[in-house]
Chain A
Amino acid sequence: MELVEAIILAVLAASTPLLIAATGELVTERSGVLNLGVEGMMIVGAACGFAGAWLTGSIFIGALFGIVAGTLMSLIFALMALGLAVNQVATGLALTILGIGLSGLIGAGFVGERITPAVHLAIPGLTGIPLIGRVLFGEDAFVYFSIALIIGVWWFLYRTRAGLILRACGDNHVSAHALGYPVLRIRTFAVMFGGACAGLAGAYLPLAYTPFFIPGMTAGRGWIALALVVFSSWRPGRLVVGAYLFGAVTILQLHAQGWGVGIPSQFMSALPYLATVIVLVLLSRARTGGSTAPAALGTVFVPDR
């Protein structure tokens, strides 16, 4: 019983940064921009988030530092890819390389320091319920926020006019421009939202997952978030499935290795990727037609004036 509970808790913790970063990238990509710099924005968010929390002693301010750092990184991307219409793939890759270097520089002085990690919710009576108590009522604020975030993004994209306009920019920027929508401004906001989410997702790692900072601690999570967006066919609902599935298989294969299942560990380590890809591909097969990707994704737009 306790093991099951522990596994569920570990799964939620492992999935949350993926979900937050992927939610941000989903919004960015839905506006038609492919920002491959998620890993770079995350790692800078992690370094700045830890620095903020260590300096002020507040997890909340640390998280804010992470958000601001991720947003600033995304603004570099916006300036290059939107303002100067540079190739988005190259810019995104450069942003990741920049982020990894920058985070090492920022975080160098903090390696080896510790902070008190984010507190977990405790509601007397509820949190104590066996099995589901801690899962539902004993998480840290990041977990609840990530769920609110993806619901909010779904609501924004499909239930608000602003969301419709954002999707329109991603589908056909020429048409959106012809109808008088400021495509580049809308995309800049979408990129900034993606950066803020990536920064927060990065900050989650040293603030809640492990209470210290080590260089390179995002360990490719930004790339996984990017892949999740693609395999979820740019849909928020499937993104949740993908993120938790990935987290779940990651944790389960660790336990399975611990129990001594006679399968090579390399294969077990590859399982989360394999399982997520298979499930999301099966899900996206359901659609009968129309393109699943935002049609204008990754294409440069220069309005004529």
Chain B
Amino acid sequence: MQAHQRMLDPTPNGLHSGESPLLQTLGLTKRYGDFLANDSIDIDIWPKEIHALLGENGAGKSTLVKAIYGLIQPSAGEIRWQGQPIVLSGPSEARSRGIGMVFQHFSLFDNLTVAENVALGLDGKESFKDMSARLEQVSKTYGLPLDPKREVWQLSVGERQRIEIVRALMQDPKFLILDEPTAVLTPQEADQLFIVLERLKAEGRAILYISHKLEEVKRLCDTATILRGGKKVDTCNPRLETAASLARMMVGGEIKEVKAPAGRKTTVPRLVVNDLTLAPSEAHGVRLEHISFELKGGEILGVAGVAGNGQDELFAALSGERLSKDPGTVVIEGIAAGHLSITQRRKLGAAFVPEERLGHGTAPRMKLSENALLTGHAASGMVHRGFIDTAATLKTVDRATETFDVRKAKRDPEAASLSGGNLQKFIVGREILRNPAVLVVSQPTWGVDAGAAAVIRQALLDLATAGAAVLVTSQDLDELAEIADRIAVMFHGHLSAPLATSEATREKLGLLMGGSSLEPKEAAHAVGA
């Protein structure tokens, strides 16, 4: 097989600047009890190479990277740096050798300033003053502007990532690890990041790039190593693969394609929002500004946008976690509901799936049947004269399990014991089984593996086909393109006019996500849509 030849050495010989790889792992294994997080993984990283690390959640990417960065000690196997075997006592040793890392969940301190955050990532050999001066210089050189005196909580997600990157660059690393860096960026911000990465590569540095955005990997990376279930599946040149073939290697089989069922037609407006303005409930919150839209039965409206632009506030206003003084701002099934509580809104036929699975969507330490009761008590016949009908709650669990393929160890486990994907399938299933007229769902497939994501997306499409109005908030533009009929963008608490999905190009959405408005002609057209 061609792939196997490429696996030995994906880069033609003449292009290697050194004789041995910059970093090499040989049979790297990490065991947690009986669980093999990494099963003898070999990976070679050469200078001047952007090397992608692909895999689903739980494939072992994070474990491998943590071992390379010295955060955890491998149970077996070897790490070689410039041909020499090394044992890393911790991240500071990794940094001193020239290994830098940009974390997925930023390793930043919200209440410290930018300069203090950068100082914490360095070894502290230079004075704070010199460090601040160098920080300014590095951020200027690479076109990553930062104000060293601001505290992190005041910054946008893109700016926060800039801190991480500048902090890593200030150590002048030979090898830089980036863990899903574009997950939180607008397409334009991602493009700027790619320019920086290309430049770092040209300077002779190596980059290990973790992502599951396959198009991005094909565009940027020279080599890709794919992990599945803790084992290395293959190393290949992503430019010679298709996104589908890469996905197959990640999942180890075909992913069920999500299909919009035929015969879907829009009916009456089921969820209408009229000029909704709401002050934030907490200090860092976003103010919702004059939000209006109309969502008909049989229709899926996608809400895109960079996290923290008011999506959480919109969800709270729609679900009734926050009430509006003017009942007419939120209309569910023709009834003014802005002033109604969550339970009253559920009785009108609305259902809600929040972003956070544990602690918001479910009570982590309660059983699934109890969690079914928590949202189903109002309108699903689980309570009789104040007493819980245990059989009915268990039946809901069984039906959700069956319909949505929820995998769990026993019939009715604690919510926290399920994996992210399975718990999300349960939560979405729990709401869909109530046959809602309106479903508001936030980040439905966040941190969920590809198989479960396909099940959930299909379920949302099927629900719309059955006549419900579905509102999906997501940061994943591919997901919205796949299931939504129209897409609107949130920015600083404003919601743009929805674009028909066929017209919502990445460029247009990216501009809206960055706060620019489309040309007047386009905008007028969009309102008409």
CB of B70 closer than 8 Å to a CB of A: yes
Shortest Cβ distance from residue A184 to the other chain B in the assembled complex, whole angstroms: 14
Interface string of B305-330 (1 = CB under 8 A from A): 00000000000000000000000000
Shortest Cβ distance from residue B358 to the other chain A in the assembled complex, whole angstroms: 16
Q: Chain B residues near A164: list those with CB within 8 A.
A: 112, 116, 119-120
On whether the beta carbons of B110 and A179 are closer than 8 Å, the reply is no
Interface string of A129-172 (1 = CB under 8 A from B): 00000000000000000000000000000000100110110011
On whether the beta carbons of A171 and B107 are closer than 8 Å, the reply is no
CB of B145 closer than 8 Å to a CB of A: no
On whether the beta carbons of B124 and A161 are closer than 8 Å, the reply is yes
Partner of A290, one of B90, B119, B153: B153
Best-surrounded residue of B71, B109, B119, B124 (most CB of chain A within 10 A): B109
On whether the beta carbons of B121 and A289 are closer than 8 Å, the reply is no
Shortest Cβ distance from residue B285 to the other chain A in the assembled complex, whole angstroms: 10
* Interface residues in A, total, Cβ within 8 A: 23
* 3 closest Cβ pairs, A-B complex: A180-B91, A175-B107, A171-B109
Q: Chain A residues near B128: list those with CB within 8 A.
A: 161
Given A178-B103, A289-B154, A294-B111, 15 additional A-B pairs, CB 8 A:
A165-B120, A167-B112, A168-B109, A168-B112, A168-B120, A172-B107, A174-B105, A178-B91, A178-B107, A179-B107, A180-B90, A180-B91, A290-B151, A291-B110, A291-B153
Contact status of A179 and B120, CB under 8 A, knowing A289-B154, A290-B153: yes
In chain A between 197 and 235, which residues have their CB closer than 8 angstroms to a CB of chain B? none
CB of A2 closer than 8 Å to a CB of B: no
Partner of B109, one of A175, A177, A289: A175
- Which residue of chain A lies nearest to B116 when distances are taken between CB atoms in the complex? A164
Bound-state CA distance A179–B151 (Å) is 19
Shortest Cβ distance from residue B283 to the other chain A in the assembled complex, whole angstroms: 5
Interface string of B181-219 (1 = CB under 8 A from A): 000000000000000000000000000000000000000
Q: Chain A residues near B227: list those with CB within 8 A.
A: none
- Which residue of chain A lies nearest to B89 when distances are taken between CB atoms in the complex? A180
CB of A7 closer than 8 Å to a CB of B: no
Bound-state CA distance A2–B116 (Å) is 49
Bound-state CA distance A174–B108 (Å) is 9
CB of B92 closer than 8 Å to a CB of A: yes
Bound-state CA distance A40–B135 (Å) is 46
On whether the beta carbons of B284 and A289 are closer than 8 Å, the reply is yes
CB of A295 closer than 8 Å to a CB of B: yes
On whether the beta carbons of A172 and B154 are closer than 8 Å, the reply is no
Contact status of A305 and B154, CB under 8 A, knowing A161-B124, A175-B107, A289-B284: no
Best-surrounded residue of B71, B72, B95, B119 (most CB of chain A within 10 A): B71
On whether the beta carbons of B284 and A175 are closer than 8 Å, the reply is no
Q: Chain A residues near B82: list those with CB within 8 A.
A: none
CB of B73 closer than 8 Å to a CB of A: yes
Bound-state CA distance A225–B339 (Å) is 44
On whether the beta carbons of A289 and B283 are closer than 8 Å, the reply is yes
Contact status of A175 and B108, CB under 8 A, knowing A164-B120, A168-B120: yes
Partner of A295, one of B103, B106, B111: B111
10 A-B pairs within 8 Å (CB atoms) are namely A161-B128, A164-B116, A164-B120, A167-B109, A168-B109, A176-B120, A179-B107, A179-B121, A289-B284, A290-B110
Partner of B108, one of A165, A172, A289, A291: A172
Interface string of B93-133 (1 = CB under 8 A from A): 00100000001011111111000100111001000100000
On whether the beta carbons of A180 and B103 are closer than 8 Å, the reply is no
Interface string of A292-305 (1 = CB under 8 A from B): 00110000000011
On whether the beta carbons of A178 and B71 are closer than 8 Å, the reply is yes
In chain B between 388 and 422, which residues have their CB closer than 8 angstroms to a CB of chain A? none
Shortest Cβ distance from residue B156 to the other chain A in the assembled complex, whole angstroms: 15
Shortest Cβ distance from residue A115 to the other chain B in the assembled complex, whole angstroms: 45
In chain B between 200 and 254, which residues have their CB closer than 8 angstroms to a CB of chain A? none
On whether the beta carbons of B91 and A179 are closer than 8 Å, the reply is yes
On whether the beta carbons of A171 and B112 are closer than 8 Å, the reply is yes
- Which residue of chain A lies nearest to B153 when distances are taken between CB atoms in the complex? A290
Q: Chain B residues near A288: list those with CB within 8 A.
A: 283
Bound-state CA distance A290–B128 (Å) is 23
On whether the beta carbons of B72 and A290 are closer than 8 Å, the reply is no
Q: Chain A residues near B120: list those with CB within 8 A.
A: 164-165, 168, 176, 179, 181
Best-surrounded residue of A164, A167, A181 (most CB of chain B within 10 A): A164
Q: Chain A residues near B95: list those with CB within 8 A.
A: 180
Q: Chain B residues near A174: list those with CB within 8 A.
A: 105, 107
Bound-state CA distance A179–B69 (Å) is 10
Best-surrounded residue of B70, B106, B110 (most CB of chain A within 10 A): B110
- Which residue of chain B lies nearest to A165 when distances are taken between CB atoms in the complex? B120
Bound-state CA distance A87–B499 (Å) is 51
- Which residue of chain A lies nearest to B88 when distances are taken between CB atoms in the complex? A180
On whether the beta carbons of A171 and B124 are closer than 8 Å, the reply is no
Shortest Cβ distance from residue B217 to the other chain A in the assembled complex, whole angstroms: 24
Best-surrounded residue of A165, A171, A181, A294 (most CB of chain B within 10 A): A171
On whether the beta carbons of B72 and A305 are closer than 8 Å, the reply is yes
- Which residue of chain B lies nearest to A162 when distances are taken between CB atoms in the complex? B124
Contact status of A172 and B110, CB under 8 A, knowing A161-B119, A179-B121, A289-B284: yes
Best-surrounded residue of A177, A179, A291, A304 (most CB of chain B within 10 A): A179
Q: Chain B residues near A289: list those with CB within 8 A.
A: 153-154, 283-284
Shortest Cβ distance from residue B149 to the other chain A in the assembled complex, whole angstroms: 14
Best-surrounded residue of B91, B111, B112 (most CB of chain A within 10 A): B111
- Which residue of chain B lies nearest to A296 when distances are taken between CB atoms in the complex? B109
- Which residue of chain A lies nearest to B106 when distances are taken between CB atoms in the complex? A175
Q: Chain B residues near A168: list those with CB within 8 A.
A: 109, 112, 116, 120
Shortest Cβ distance from residue A18 to the other chain B in the assembled complex, whole angstroms: 26
- Which residue of chain B lies nearest to A288 when distances are taken between CB atoms in the complex? B283
Q: Chain B residues near A179: list those with CB within 8 A.
A: 91, 107, 120-121
